[in-house]
Structure 1
């Protein structure tokens, strides 16, 4: 007895779309689809467009858990920053994420609140998710954090600082040198009684380095003892900037310049001066650090130290991608430098 022809089995409404389904839709091999998912730039533009259109049409979502188990790679990178809101680190994170996404990597971000112990806790949690690499802001870490990174055996890039003995890869600049350069700028503008205002907490080594740079320059260029005021554990806000201005004028009423460790502090102080009728820069010159977008829109516009935050993210991604692919990095330390942006406030 002749058997009727077998009908093609229809895909169940509850069955997930597979790699083979996408390959059939795009008219390519399953291996090509896999390459597009894993590393989009490794495939020609035309082929990638066909596969991406098929992925969208079929609603395919890659099974990352299975892929990660098979390859022992998570296609993720952990990012640890002190804070993300109203932060100069946001440009670095955005550029870093964009560069990695082009190669099929995603990031997960944790904030440390400038607390070294919290950085260790966040890192421990993240390493449990098996990232393929780690980006960190800063070069100063607890012994526990260093031990965790050594044991993890994944590439690490430190940023926004400088060290002669980095953990692994480094993309940054000297905060101390940048602060010294700002003192030199203020001296060139005729300022002789320069007060430094910032947070001197142990959890923010970059601010401490800026203080060190100011202190060395004040002694070398002015032959004077440093004049500093400390915000303590107060947050990086404009309100704290006002409090720092009050401290500076109370302790050093003859100040002719106040140099802040952050543009956020400087902006709060500038607005307070405008409200109080303190002429800037006539009576008091003000300077910040970071070159936030708002710095150039203030009236008067804020003199500051500009750091290429986006470039830090791009270079950090470049170094990590090279190492995560198993290749050697010829230059493991990249100094992105800084520049003094002289505006109306000085």
Structure 2
């Protein structure tokens, strides 16, 4: 504990030194937009000079607020999920809110357990990566009085608020692009959709688009249980070429899988895109710097986090949590050298 002249420095001491009320000091530390910039700077400067440390936890308890937002993601190793969380955290911090992050590991039962634990801690809101919830999970979320935001998809039965993109429609755009290049034998490589509903939706989008074009929709390779990445993509190339020797193009469920396919092609001396066109999903950094660079779909991972933070701030400020919000952020097709 910081002390001055043998006594703990209090908020009232800072207020007296600056010549403002204790409430103004509290609001300044919470980042209240109604506090004058110069006043806030003077308060923070004087607090540092006196050695005062703002106790955010105690302040939240006095206001009957937890001060945090619960967030679930299926993987903390995924760069796109990490970018969503980073921008969400950045946006929430401007309103004095922090993130309590839970990693579900693509396991619906673990997700159920974690959501139960999170809700018991009374978060201001809960942000979920859209998935295949268990019945109990859905019941808990529908019963809670806090705002529920689902992201990274457009669920058929939304619980409350939604911010995301359509996985099937996005994948359909990629198929349309490849067909437009003259490809007819197109394959899809993904993980076990039972553990990855978002990947399953992309596969559904692939098959629906292929049927719409009157093409064979059965060239599917399961690379293993979700999450699948670069290693699984590389291993899947052998099965792809063995099962479908005439394949002209392949779409990975993510850029990571597509990069694995690309790397294995390079190891074997298979020309991309001359012999095999490769496309991904997600616009990961690795797809932007590999050679050749990957054609992909940009799902705007950071924007999802930023918009989720703004939505939460509006809901908490206006007490509008009972009015469902639907925000669709369409994915953008990015054409690069891997598709010619």
Tell me, yes or no, whether TM beats 0.5. yes
User: What residue ranges of structure 2 are gaps of 5+ in the alignment?
Assistant: none
Do the aligned partners of residues 42 and 245 (structure 1) sit closer, same or farther apart at CA in structure 2, a change above 3 Å counting? farther
Q: CA deviation at 1:11?
A: 4.9
Do the aligned partners of residues 52 and 247 (structure 1) sit closer, same or farther apart at CA in structure 2, a change above 3 Å counting? farther
Question: Partner of 1:24 in structure 2?
Answer: 16
User: What residue ranges of structure 1 are gaps of 5+ in the alignment?
Assistant: 1-9
RMSD between aligned residues: 1.8
2:146 is the alignment partner of 1:176:
no
The 8 Å contact of residues 4 and 50 in structure 2, kept in 1 or not, is answered as no
Q: CA deviation at 1:22?
A: 2.2
Q: CA deviation at 1:12?
A: 5.9
Question: Partner of 1:248 in structure 2?
Answer: 240
Matching of residues 259-274 of structure 1 within 5 Å:
259-274=251-266
Residue of 82, 99, 114 corresponding to 1:122: 114
The 8 Å contact of residues 219 and 226 in structure 1, kept in 2 or not, is answered as no
C-alpha distance in 2 between matches for 1:293 and 1:224: 32
Moved segments of 4+, more than 6 Å = none
C-alpha distance in 1 between matches for 2:80 and 2:309: 17
The 8 Å contact of residues 100 and 317 in structure 1, kept in 2 or not, is answered as yes
Do the aligned partners of residues 116 and 227 (structure 1) sit closer, same or farther apart at CA in structure 2, a change above 3 Å counting? same
Instruction: Give the TM-score, by structure 2 length.
Output: 0.93
Instruction: Give the TM-score, by structure 1 length.
Output: 0.92
Question: Partner of 2:203 in structure 1?
Answer: 211
Residue of 142, 145, 148 corresponding to 2:134: 142
Name the larger-Rg structure: 1
C-alpha distance in 1 between matches for 2:91 and 2:331: 22
Aligned residues: 336
Q: CA deviation at 1:231?
A: 1.8
Q: CA deviation at 1:234?
A: 5.3
Matched position secondary structure for 2:79 = coil
Q: CA deviation at 1:86?
A: 3.6
C-alpha distance in 1 between matches for 2:156 and 2:48: 48
